A and B are shown apart, each in its own frame.
Chain A
Amino acid sequence: MTAKYRPTRRAALMGFTAVALAGGRASAQAPKKGGTLTFLQGAEPTTLISLTTVGTPSLTNSAKTTEGLLEYDYDIKPRPQLATEWSISPDGKSYTFKLRPNVKFHDGKPFTSADVAYSIQLLKTVHPRGRNTYANVVEVKTPDPLTAIIELSKPAPYLIKALTAAESPMLPRHIYEGTDPLANQNGNAPIGTGPYKFKEWVRGSHVIYESNPDYWDPGLPRIERMVCKFVRDSGARSIAFENGSGDIGYRTPVALADLERLKKLPHLVFSTDGTSYSYNVQCLQFNFDSQFFKHLKVRQAVAHAIDRAALLKTVAYGYGTVSYSPIAPGLKEYHDPTPSPYKLDLKKAEELLDEAGFKRGADKIRFKVPLDFNPIGDDGRRTCEFVRASLSRIGIAVEVRAADLSAFSKRVYTDREFDFTYNGHSNLFDPTVGVQRIYWSKNFKKGVPFSNASNYNNPKVDALLEGAAVENDPVKRKAMFMEFQKIVAEELPDISLYSPLYLTIKNKRVREDSPTADGVEGNMSRVWLDG
């Protein structure tokens, strides 16, 4: 049963010092073996392998059973996982991987280069991002069971960062071969090389993993069992952290309004470790086919009217970083920190709207326009209310329209019956994979979510994005992305607002949960429980 815990102010104070001390001691302490880790997850995955979907719930679970060729440190420098050595040819068109010997799948079959070749081909055909990430793959050569060579037609400078367990899972060929990958039961009861073996999936409730005694890394995993509980209600997740029935959750698993209260609890730790593999940028995206927003001056006026810092503070409770660019500040290599050329200036905004021909009417209103938002996060409604208030000051009457996921997708991407929308885009580990799709005119595709919904079309931008996608020289590549950011900052196909900061919340007994860039989305082989 649940632990009984009643917070008092004194306990909270004592707790803070206890956490500080425990943090300092953690590295010196020898890891303990055994125990059950309860991992709280918001939504139930549709499949336990991130092959045919990259929905967050599937990404969360996939790596526990199914590993990747590489893992990455917090700065996205590759480290060995299933591959022990790797090299890239000088022309950037050939990647050679030496595989870890004596690795076995949970069913006892050996893991070889044939599995790597098969997995890459599968990712290239059925993975929602793999089709782009691995687009240049010509073939995967397997000269011997422990060597895999990926041959490309053109360089793909982002490829070396795409090889985590959750993004590019290495699947057992003997289970998938000759089947329809979408119907394969491996997604319901996965077999992989990972530190945890799948035990059971009770739909609507939980998944249980048990430690893999034959894991290739001796001494790992340390915990005996991992229970992934699906708790849909964020209030219930707060309570579970509070009373100790949940150990860990990530991507800020509670309502932002609950954070201050939970931070007072001495047994909880709040961490940002392992959140550097993927960053989101939240934005207001304009439809260039809208009678209002097809005018550059109207878009500029909106940009002049929105105070990003105030939005971040009120809507996201300060958890994030202001971003003027669609490339997140977290992607330090490519992010352009130059502030938007359109500073907060209501007077200028009003002038621009007058010039564009939208004068204030008798009721002081220039025009009425609906705003749609992607409902996947819980901040959509609040952000839209902020935008509505901001734009009402320059005479634009915004009507916020709510819809569920499917209705939003149909309205924006299929029917295109929208004027502007609040949305978030995952940058992932590279702008070519995460950012290009939103601005590339060739990706203006009706009916495809997260395509170029603005119908933005600038041949110069297209050339820069296409060039950067195959540019092997990091300096030239950076220059291309910088120029791209300058152009979209001026032309405003969208207004980038901020990049959210996600917290991992855990009980202080949980240690070494996030040693890699992808944090708890990694295989969590090292996690252990102190008591």
Chain B
Amino acid sequence: MRMGRRIAATLKRTALHAGPTVLGIIVLDFLFLQLMPGDAADVIAIEAGAATAETMAMLRERFGLDQPIITQLGNFLSHLVQLDLGHSARFNASVLDIIMTRLPNTVLLMATALSLALLMGIVMGSVMAAWAGKWPDRLLSVVVLLLYSMPGFWVGLMAIVLFSVKLGWLPNDSNMTVGANYTGLAMIADRAVHLVLPALALASFFVAVYSRLVRASMLEVQRQDFMRTAQAKGLHPFFIQLRHALRNALIPVTTVAGMHLGNLLGGAVVVETLFGWPGMGRLALEAVLARDFAVLLGVLLLSSLLVIAANVVIDLLHAWLDPRIGET
């Protein structure tokens, strides 16, 4: 019962915050984008290597760029109210369609990378804490330090050189074997194989962060009175670590993970470019370069919704991990 009330309270609070946040993001983004030099018609013309005054005028009219800025913003917002993200004149397709072909890929990559980072981080952190100061701790500390200091794109590049070029084990490009038309299990296997390298590259840095965090929090918890009580009760050390130490250590880790989601979206741009992953990060980058603001605003809107949704999940997770959180 109390759990249900807490969940409802969390959702209500998030909903209240989300609306103004999203609106602010959209309006600010729109205004900042106006500061960028040049427009979508310029890009089309430069890419083409040819233009006439008439074709430029035709493109600007088609892109709606001949309208005053305030009208453009008004049009965008009025479409948005009707849950319509608008139309990309550059691709002659609806923004929602363009984004929806990419969104699942990005969510898959991010979810895999984040889960991988959390899983490996928690396991490594627990091992380091359990053997603090001994050789497993020392060894893993070196590994963690390496992961922490190497940028994700470099890890990705080296992984490509080793696993794709030298060994030929894993593909380096795209999210599936294009044109192979796999179905069923073969398709899942194909997707999984393509996911390995980008997910590892994206996760590498965060593995380091989470394992350090888990190690520190668990060592902190070890000194608490309730741990001594648990030992005095005669609980098995494994369960003490799992139920009492780790559960408490998870609060800071999940908090940080929630905040990292935004970073992960940013890091996805680099990793997606490196691995030819057809995701939203690359779409955003290409939209900036092409001044395709309809698409860019759509991506930013959905990204902000994604971050808000992830924060809700983290809040709920906290409510479950620690009943004291969320009671006001």
What is the chain B residue whose CB lies nearest that of A47? B92
B274 at the interface (CB under 8 A from A): yes
Q: Could you say which residues of chain B place their CB within 8 Å of the CB of A235?
A: 157
Residues in A neighbouring B37, C-beta threshold 8 A:
403, 406-407, 410-411
| B252 part of interface (Cβ distance < 8 Å) | no
B36 partner residues in chain A, CB cutoff 8 A: 406-407
Interface 1/0s, chain A 395-431, versus B by CB < 8 A? 0000000011111111101100000000001100000
Contact A239 B291 (CB under 8 A): no
Least distance between A245 CB and chain B CB atoms (Å)? 7
Residues of B within 8 A of A188 (CB): 91-93
Q: Is the CB of A203 within 8 A of B278?
A: yes
Q: Convert B50-63 into 0s and 1s, putting 1 for each residue whose CB lies closer than 8 angstroms to a CB of A.
A: 11111110100010
For chain A, the bracket of interface size reads 35 or more
In whole angstroms, what is the CA distance A237 to B215 when docked? 42
Residues of the B chain whose Cβ atoms lie less than 8 Å from the Cβ of A409: 38, 42-43, 45-46
Q: Which residues of A contact B52 (CB under 8 A)?
A: 128, 131-132, 448
The CA-CA distance from A116 to B142 in the complex, in Å, is 70
Which single member of B39, B54, B173, B175 contacts A406 (CB below 8 Å)?
B39
Least Cβ distance of B122 to chain A in Å? 32
Contact status of A36 and B47, CB under 8 A, knowing A2-B168, A4-B168: no
Q: A4-B168, A225-B179, A231-B173 are in contact. Are A203 and B102 (CB under 8 A)?
A: yes
**Bound complex: CA A240 to CA B177 (Å):** 12
Q: Measuring CB to CB, which residues of chain A are less than 8 angstroms from any residue of chain B?
A: 1-6, 36, 38, 44, 46-47, 52-57, 126-129, 131-132, 182-185, 187-188, 202-206, 208, 225, 227, 229-233, 235-236, 239-240, 242-243, 245, 374, 376, 403-411, 413-414, 425-426, 437, 445, 447-451
- How far is the CB of B166 from the nearest CB of chain A, in Å? 7
Instruction: Report if B276 contacts A (CB, 8 A).
Output: yes
Interchain CB contact (< 8 A) of B278 among A131, A204, A208, A451? A204
Q: Is the CB of B101 within 8 A of A449?
A: no
Among B39, B42, B55, contact of A128 (Cβ-Cβ < 8 Å)? B55
A-B contact pairs, 21 of them (CB 8 A): A38-B178, A44-B286, A55-B44, A126-B55, A131-B55, A187-B92, A204-B283, A206-B178, A206-B179, A233-B274, A233-B276, A239-B160, A239-B164, A405-B47, A406-B38, A407-B38, A408-B38, A408-B46, A410-B42, A449-B42, A449-B56
Q: CA of A243 to CA of B291 in the docked complex: distance in angstroms?
A: 35
**Contacts known (A2-B164, A406-B42); A203 close to B173, Cβ less than 8 A:** no
B46 touches A405 (CB 8 A): yes
Residues of B within 8 A of A414 (CB): 38, 42
In the complex, A5 Cα to B174 Cα: how many Å?
19
B273 interface hit (Cβ, 8 Å): yes
A233, B53: Cβ atoms closer than 8 Å: no
Check A450 against B50 for contact (C-beta < 8 Å): yes
Total number of residue pairs linking A and B with CB closer than 8 Å:
186
Asked if A236 and B276 sit within 8 Å, CB to CB, the answer is yes
Q: Is B98 an interface residue (CB 8 A)?
A: yes
User: B211 within 8 Å of A by Cβ?
Assistant: no
Q: How far is the CA of A44 from the CA of B47 in the complex (A)?
A: 12
Contacting residues of chain B (16-58) with chain A, CB-CB under 8 angstroms: 36-40, 42-56, 58
Interface positions of B from 64 to 113, Cβ below 8 Å from A:
89-93, 98, 101-102
User: With A188-B92, A205-B278, A406-B291 given, is the CB distance from A448 to B53 under 8 Å?
Assistant: yes
Bound-state CA distance A182–B101 (Å) is 23
Q: Is the CB of B98 within 8 A of A203?
A: yes
Which residues of chain B are within 8 angstroms of A404 by Cβ–Cβ distance? Answer: 38, 289
Nearest-neighbour CB distance to chain B for A406, whole angstroms, equals: 3
Chain A residues with CB under 8 Å of B319's CB are none
Q: Does B256 contact A (CB under 8 A)?
A: no
Whether B217 is near chain A, meaning CB under 8 Å from some CB there, is no
* B172 within 8 A of partner (CB): yes
